[in-house]
Structure 1
Amino acid sequence: MTTIFTDRPQQPPKLKRDTLRITPLGGLGDVGRNMAVLEINGRLLVIDCGVLFPEDAQPGVDLILPDFDMLRERLDDIAAIILTHGHEDHIGAVPYLLRLKPDIPLVGSQLTLAFIEAKLREHRITPYTLAVTEGQVESFGPFTCEFVAVNHSIPDALAVHVTTAAGTVLHTGDFKMDQLPLDGRITDLRAFARLGEKGVDLFMVDSTNAEVPGFTVGEQEIGPVLEGIFARARQKIVVASFSSHVHRVQQVLDAAAMHGRKVAFVGRSMVRNMAIAADMGYLRVPENILVDVKKIDSLPDDQVVLMCTGSQGEPMAALGRIANRDHRVAVGPGDVVILASSLIPGNENAVFRVVNGLMALGAEVVHKGNAKVHTSGHASAGELLYCYNIVRPKNVMPVHGEVRHLIANGRVAESTGIAPERIVLARDGYVVDLADGKAQVVGAIPNGYVYVDGSSVGEISEADLKDRRILGDEGFISVFAVVNSETGALIAGPEIHARGVAEDDAVFEKIKPQIVTALEQAVADQADRRDPYQLQQVMRRVVGRYASQRLRRRPMIIPIVVEA
């Protein structure tokens, strides 16, 4: 097993007939943006199409999408998009792919398709869908897919077994092995064993919890903890969770009913998803327990529970706005806020910023770090061991996780006796070919982040983000001068204005003579060809040198030279 990711492979060779090519476009290196493309004999099968949520180093970005460039000229070759479950990191980018070709078939369980169909309506896209259940077998071009029930933190999750002329692939999606799940639907290890007996050529396995020893805590252990918090709470209770976490919402509804409280859903996605889950029978809503958030002011605080979005510290989600006092819901001393979610890597600062804001308002904040109010939806190392021993795959490709998770998953596979050279560690954009029973990296394609910023998709570059970071961290200085278009002599200025810089504009008065001298020298050097751009760069260098040496800052500097 190789653990070296520094040398990016070269351009992959032309794909041979009856060879299966797997290209991950997201999810290998990050927790999110999950997407894999399988190709054989000219046809493509896409497994998942999710989003990644931005970090602090990506200011202004709303979402991060997989890079669809390899698909843009081959949209007619896509046989189907398989969606393993309804979480945003697996379905959130579907609307952006279907903008390119709306009639690509979407395949998934009933709940998964209901969630994505509601999202697509907001984008004014009517998809072609096929609902499948565990045990069902469907063919999409050269791909024959069997769907297997797996347990996750959302109902109706599926693994998919893909049979092709080159061999078979078992993709787990996100899964764990909770033996007493709330909905009674366990991961079908009998199906895993049956498929393993037939022979699994490539096992693509969820890596998110591969570093965690033992077994993931069962969902049933969370309910009594929530009930205990509800029992001692004397005022308002606010619970934040993923808007698709049906199991956690069910436990909140049950605890609220037990303690005589009403529940209001807060946040558009929470309201939408829970209405879908209730209509389809995945969420059991006790009679007369739900109330519109607009009516909570008429209820005593000790009879109110607010179920809201924002558990990952998203600034525009309900909980973040509550913490910033920018929401109709207010919290204060005596209120209890429960963060019923795990921390997605990269979101720690945002989450604890919200926690600090809530605590500053006087609320008690209960989270996974100080109480057992959440459990992961992903298999820990002990569960992965069981899966490897049951399936006994010929090749393994860890998916879904940061580099450390992928490597940890590879080591778990190796500990069960799988040969190191049969464990494929890849990152987004790597190209893996399966032929003659062997899977190996054969190259890589360009693959970057695609940023959604308001209504723009893919227009924001890394350079734009760097500029935003500089503006946020170091400030902005503009330098303006007017020169004679014929002689180059300085007519007006230089004028200097700073924003986001602690020092007053007056501090720059002492360098104006230096700017004038530098401009005069530059004009003399350009006697035959006076270039305003070159004069701008002269001003940039003088101001930049002063800001660096005297102010210890590296602000964005915008020089402007106007000819008159």
Structure 2
Amino acid sequence: MTEVVPDLPALPALPADGLRVVALGGLGEVGRNMTVLEHRGRLLVIDCGVLFPEEHHPGIDLILPDFDYLRDRLDDVDAIVLTHGHEDHIGALPYLLQRKPDIPLLGSQLTLALVEAKLKEHRISPYTLGVREGQTEHLGVWGLEFVAVNHSIPDALAVCVRTDAGVLLHTGDFKMDQLPLDRRLTDLRAFARLGEEGVDLFLTDSTNAEVPGFTTPEREIAPAIDKVFRHTEGRIIVACFSSHVHRVQQVLDAAHKAGRRVAMVGRSMVRNMTIAAELGYLHVPDGVLIDIKKVDSLRDDQLVLVCTGSQGEPMAALSRMANRDHRIEVGPGDTVLLASSLIPGNENAVYRVINGLMRLGADVVHKGNAKVHVSGHASAGELLYCYNIVKPRNVMPVHGEWRHLVANGRLAEATGVPRERVLLCQDGTVVDLVDGVAEIVGEVPCGYVYVDGSALGGETSDELLRDRRILRDEGFVTAIVVVDTSTGEVVSEPEITSRGVAEDQEVFDRIRPRVEQAVIEAMAKGTTDTYALQQVVRRTLGSWVGTKLRRRPMIIPVVIDA
């Protein structure tokens, strides 16, 4: 496999008959999926998603792709193609379209409906073109063909991009469920037809490449859900993704069979399921759905709540319930059903929510103790099947952490793709397809762009996050010293206080004289600048705290010249 290497040479010019692929997200991580294609001076974007923050991103709401590569070339973008409606593929659109709202969006009916609702909240009215499987579109230098794929959200599409430089096939997120709930199969006949035509570059979903065999069909989890509904006497709370229409459909059907009523909890859940029902993707049995305001009028054994928060998101409904910060109070007799798998990196947050719910007395049913969720991504057997029928000339695994990309690349090699034609890339890698050969030719800057409340991008830096982590994990110590630089004296004894250091304040009595003496010595040597004196205080106090207390808190020195 050809891996990206550091210190690549400056990015070369793209040959006139070449196709350039620039990964701006989704490689080395599960989220913020975004790929930019370039041909004859024109650009085509595939997906524009977000990455959800982990524990080492304190205070961060979302992480975006780095749009700098497009900053001066937005007028060259012919369209943004959306493979499906999950947040890790559409969530960053508002932030990109704020820069140029009239970029056309191409996607399926449900995908565009979810996007339009999201953009409406940002007061953006997009230009959209609805497409469906089997449809072809021509946009300048781009020939597009859309292929039905099965995923954990309806209306997902793969996209085949035809150019003078060759044919690229991007699967998006997919699996090969042979008994899908919506009867919409991944169109393997179309994959085979494209393979016979000749696929020069195959971009494939890598998320489950390490998992042997085939992904379990969605229908097989219905008995486990029905069992929970049959044997639970109290209230049932189901947590899943707010876009997982198939799972919500199974919950509605199970509730109808058990004679229960269902209320949706959470703005995104209500919005997305309303859209899905209006478009016919979600079929609500008569009399099952009720407004959240009416739940208090029902007995616990008559009620099901469907909410967000299956990934432990701090502000989602389920996390707030676990923290007793929600109008729905969870307690003994309640059963919480986590109808989702763990996204890599979210494990600690999810288990924290599970522990919080169980501490309140609820029973928690999750994938670890019951078969209540199946993945939406193709396992190794399905990927092998696709490689064998597509027979691509070059392969670029996408959508996954590094281990997923490596496993996917090995599968491609096992089916006969030459090792040097399997490209392992990371965010920012640039691949050129010229004369049927794909090669890594360089990199572009591709850092994390943070959404932090109302702040975006440069206002939130890695240094700021490092400071937040120190404050969270180690606490802080402040030292206030009043000096008279004209006489070189310390006017009053240093005042030292701490928070989050887990030590009595008296412990700092031992360091006060040393801080005072260090400041006096610095002034005796001619240091009168208060900032320089603050650094003296920082070094003296920090060294002592690190040695004596074995801690590394944030040191905040304040020197006042009287």
Q: TM-score, normalization: structure 1?
A: 0.98
Deviation at 1:143, TM superposition (A): 1.0
- Rounded to whole Å, the distance in 2 between the matches of 1:8 and 1:145 is 35
Task: Give 2:504's aligned amino acid.
Answer: D
- Rounded to whole Å, the distance in 2 between the matches of 1:203 and 1:21 is 14
Task: Give 1:428's aligned amino acid.
Answer: D
Task: Tell which deviates more after alignment, 456-465 or 250-259.
Answer: 456-465
- In the alignment, does 2:263 pair up with 1:226? no
Contact 1:9 1:430 in 2 (8 A): no
Q: Which residue of 2 aligns with 1:80?
A: 79
Distance 1:379 1:8, change over 3 A: farther
Q: Which residue of 1 aligns with 2:153?
A: 154
The alignment partner of 1:182 has SS state of coil
Task: Give 2:555's aligned amino acid.
Answer: I
Task: Give 1:412's aligned amino acid.
Answer: L
Task: Give 1:563's aligned amino acid.
Answer: D
- Rounded to whole Å, the distance in 2 between the matches of 1:418 and 1:22 is 19
Which of 534, 546, 549 is matched with 1:548 structurally?
546
Q: Which residue of 1 aligns with 2:138?
A: 139
- The within-5 A match list for 1:260-299 is 260-299=259-298
Distance 1:536 1:87, change over 3 A: same
The alignment partner of 2:385 has SS state of helix
Q: Which residue of 2 aligns with 1:206?
A: 205
Deviation at 1:483, TM superposition (A): 1.9
The alignment partner of 1:277 has SS state of helix
Deviation at 1:74, TM superposition (A): 0.7
Deviation at 1:175, TM superposition (A): 0.2
Deviation at 1:446, TM superposition (A): 1.2
Per-residue CA shift, 1:266-324, capped at 9, x if unaligned? 01000000000000000000001111112111100000000000000011100001111
Q: Which residue of 2 aligns with 1:360?
A: 359
The alignment partner of 2:285 has SS state of coil
Q: Which residue of 1 aligns with 2:532?
A: 534
Q: Which residue of 1 aligns with 2:510?
A: 510
Deviation at 1:188, TM superposition (A): 0.4
Q: Which residue of 2 aligns with 1:96?
A: 95
- Rounded to whole Å, the distance in 2 between the matches of 1:398 and 1:447 is 18
Per-residue CA shift, 1:154-189, capped at 9, x if unaligned? 000000000111111000000000011000000001
Contact 1:193 1:391 in 2 (8 A): yes
Contact 2:49 2:91 in 1 (8 A): yes
- The within-5 A match list for 1:8-87 is 8-87=7-86
Q: Which residue of 2 aligns with 1:325?
A: 324
- Rounded to whole Å, the distance in 2 between the matches of 1:141 and 1:519 is 70
Task: Tell which deviates more after alignment, 435-444 or 483-492.
Answer: 483-492
- Rounded to whole Å, the distance in 2 between the matches of 1:411 and 1:547 is 50
- In the alignment, does 2:422 pair up with 1:405? no
The alignment partner of 1:264 has SS state of strand
Deviation at 1:469, TM superposition (A): 0.5
Contact 2:15 2:434 in 1 (8 A): no
The alignment partner of 1:79 has SS state of strand
Q: Which residue of 1 aligns with 2:467?
A: 467
The alignment partner of 2:44 has SS state of strand
Task: Give 1:482's aligned amino acid.
Answer: V
- Rounded to whole Å, the distance in 2 between the matches of 1:311 and 1:429 is 30
Task: Tell which deviates more after alignment, 333-342 or 208-217.
Answer: 333-342
- Rounded to whole Å, the distance in 1 between the matches of 2:158 and 2:177 is 15
Task: Give 2:536's aligned amino acid.
Answer: V
Deviation at 1:489, TM superposition (A): 2.4
Task: Tell which deviates more after alignment, 134-143 or 338-347.
Answer: 134-143
Deviation at 1:485, TM superposition (A): 4.2
- Rounded to whole Å, the distance in 2 between the matches of 1:14 and 1:193 is 34
Q: Which residue of 2 aligns with 1:381?
A: 380
Task: Give 1:47's aligned amino acid.
Answer: I
The alignment partner of 1:134 has SS state of coil
Contact 1:11 1:445 in 2 (8 A): no
- Rounded to whole Å, the distance in 2 between the matches of 1:311 and 1:244 is 12
Task: Give 1:445's aligned amino acid.
Answer: V
| Identical residues among aligned pairs (%) | 68
Q: Which residue of 2 aligns with 1:560?
A: 558
- In the alignment, does 2:368 pair up with 1:369? yes
- Rounded to whole Å, the distance in 2 between the matches of 1:8 and 1:232 is 60
Deviation at 1:5, TM superposition (A): 5.3
Q: Which residue of 2 aligns with 1:501?
A: 501
Contact 1:25 1:34 in 2 (8 A): yes
The alignment partner of 1:315 has SS state of coil
Q: TM-score, normalization: structure 2?
A: 0.99
Task: Give 2:428's aligned amino acid.
Answer: G
Q: Which residue of 2 aligns with 1:414?
A: 413
Q: Which residue of 2 aligns with 1:393?
A: 392
- In the alignment, does 2:166 pair up with 1:164? no
The alignment partner of 1:173 has SS state of coil
Task: Give 2:330's aligned amino acid.
Answer: V
Q: Which residue of 1 aligns with 2:486?
A: 486
Deviation at 1:499, TM superposition (A): 1.0
Deviation at 1:492, TM superposition (A): 3.0
Task: Give 1:184's aligned amino acid.
Answer: R
The alignment partner of 1:38 has SS state of strand
Q: Which residue of 2 aligns with 1:191?
A: 190
Task: Give 2:505's aligned amino acid.
Answer: D
The alignment partner of 1:486 has SS state of coil
Contact 1:170 1:202 in 2 (8 A): yes
- Rounded to whole Å, the distance in 2 between the matches of 1:387 and 1:117 is 33
Task: Tell which deviates more after alignment, 516-525 or 488-497.
Answer: 488-497
Deviation at 1:37, TM superposition (A): 0.3
Contact 2:241 2:340 in 1 (8 A): yes
Task: Give 2:70's aligned amino acid.
Answer: L
Q: Which residue of 1 aligns with 2:114?
A: 115
- In the alignment, does 2:179 pair up with 1:174? no
The alignment partner of 1:214 has SS state of coil
Contact 1:226 1:252 in 2 (8 A): yes
- Rounded to whole Å, the distance in 1 between the matches of 2:310 and 2:137 is 37
Per-residue CA shift, 1:54-98, capped at 9, x if unaligned? 111111111100000011111101100000000000000000000
The alignment partner of 2:271 has SS state of helix
- Rounded to whole Å, the distance in 2 between the matches of 1:558 and 1:347 is 33
Deviation at 1:493, TM superposition (A): 3.7
Q: CA RMSD in A?
A: 1.0
- Rounded to whole Å, the distance in 1 between the matches of 2:514 and 2:157 is 68
Per-residue CA shift, 1:252-278, capped at 9, x if unaligned? 000000000000000100000000000
Per-residue CA shift, 1:312-341, capped at 9, x if unaligned? 001110000111111111222221111000
Task: Give 2:414's aligned amino acid.
Answer: S
Q: Which residue of 2 aligns with 1:519?
A: 519
Contact 2:4 2:440 in 1 (8 A): no
- Rounded to whole Å, the distance in 1 between the matches of 2:9 and 2:446 is 13
The alignment partner of 1:148 has SS state of strand
The alignment partner of 2:319 has SS state of helix
Task: Give 1:556's aligned amino acid.
Answer: M
The alignment partner of 2:502 has SS state of coil
The alignment partner of 1:256 has SS state of helix
Deviation at 1:6, TM superposition (A): 6.0
Distance 1:6 1:488, change over 3 A: farther
Deviation at 1:8, TM superposition (A): 4.8
Task: Give 1:502's aligned amino acid.
Answer: A
Task: Give 1:490's aligned amino acid.
Answer: V
Contact 2:224 2:371 in 1 (8 A): yes
Deviation at 1:11, TM superposition (A): 2.8
